[in-house]
Homo-oligomer: A and B are copies of this chain.
Amino acid sequence: MSENQAAITVDLGGTNLRVALVANNQVVKRIMHPTPRGAEEIVGLISKQALEFTDQGVIGIAIAAPGTASPQMDRLSKAPNLPELNNYPMAAEITRQTKLPCIIENDANVYAMGETFFGAAVGLHTVVVYTLGTGVGGGIILSGKLWRGVNGAAAEIGHISIDEDGHLCGCGARGCLETYASATAMARLAKEYGSEANTAKKAFELAHEGDEGAQRAFVRAGSALGIAIAGMLNTLNPQAVVIGGGGSSAYPLLEPEIEKQLKVRAFPAALENFKLLKCTLGNDAALLGGAALLKEALQ
């Protein structure tokens, strides 16, 4: 966007819906609502809020939402957490109500664009972002562009096998990275290793206080991440990896284990000038990433 352009960006979650006005690569206005139930209600609230925020120079609306976006980016083609939006013509309806162009993209992809263009990896062009949350997701930026895959289904990088006979994953497979490195998995591992922690946050606190079970959980989560990242480096040879999402608060415990695995498993040529980074934007990553997405789509 040129300096006088602005964007309305939306981070649509199963629980909360956040709307922002982004200008000069910064969030200048923001508001949060509980996500209403029903497609018309969601679309109505986004449109109403967008109109309230609309300023001179707003070029459009970008929505980050959980699920798979259609290749045309006009709707969610798979939305397990917001089933009412499955194949609902969201963009067309918002454009009708606001007269603004609207695009929809998977939230982890938009988050990855935020961290790449405005956050941890600013200045780089080929970056893979891992988001450690309830699950493990991510986004892949190649030569400055989001890689969506042919069906918009790329970057499900939490679903790489670490142990083919491992823990059952939500996706139906066994031993995916997600079963080691999501916040849920970190809490489960801590319990398995004898800690009393029942959340990732608690495990992180206990690990700091010397609890061995909690410490072991982060060593395991970190080594699984390192194994997955090494394979990805050998495949894509990016400039950087960003570790993001809520689970990244454990970065100081995860990072040494990731590095240990990269040293053994990634090819030396893939490690030349490679950077492992922690996210820097927190909850604003998807709001800022939406502005980059809109710029790319409307170019």
A88 at the B interface (CB under 8 A): no
Assembled-state Cα–Cα distance A164/B140 (Å): 24
Which of A35-43, A45-53, A230-238, A241-249 contacts the other chain? A230-238
Chain B residues within an 8 Å CB radius of A234: 153, 156-157, 159-160
* Residues of chain B lying within 8 A (CB to CB) of residue A227: 161, 164
C-alpha gap A208/B272 in the complex (Å): 45
Q: Is A77 an interface residue (CB 8 A)?
A: yes
- Majority SS at the chain A contact face: loop
- What residues of chain B lie closer than 8 Å to A270, measured between beta carbons? 149, 151, 153-154, 156
CA distance in complex: A140, B239 (Å): 17
Copies held by the complex: 2
Residue A210 is within 8 A (CB to CB) of chain B in the complex? no
A231 touches B142 (CB 8 A): no
Which of A36-77 touch B at CB < 8 Å? 68, 77
Report the nearest B residue to A239, measured CB to CB: B150
CA distance A237 to B160 in the complex (A): 13
Verify B142–A267 contact, CB threshold 8 A: no
Is the beta-carbon distance between A162 and B161 smaller than 8 angstroms?
Answer: yes
With a cutoff of 8 Å between Cβ atoms, the chain B residues found around residue A239 in the complex are 150
Partner of A237, one of B154, B265, B273: B154
User: Which residues does A use to contact B, with CB under 8 Å?
Assistant: 68, 77-78, 126, 140, 142, 147-157, 159-164, 171-173, 176, 223, 227, 230-232, 234-239, 264-265, 267, 269-270, 272-273
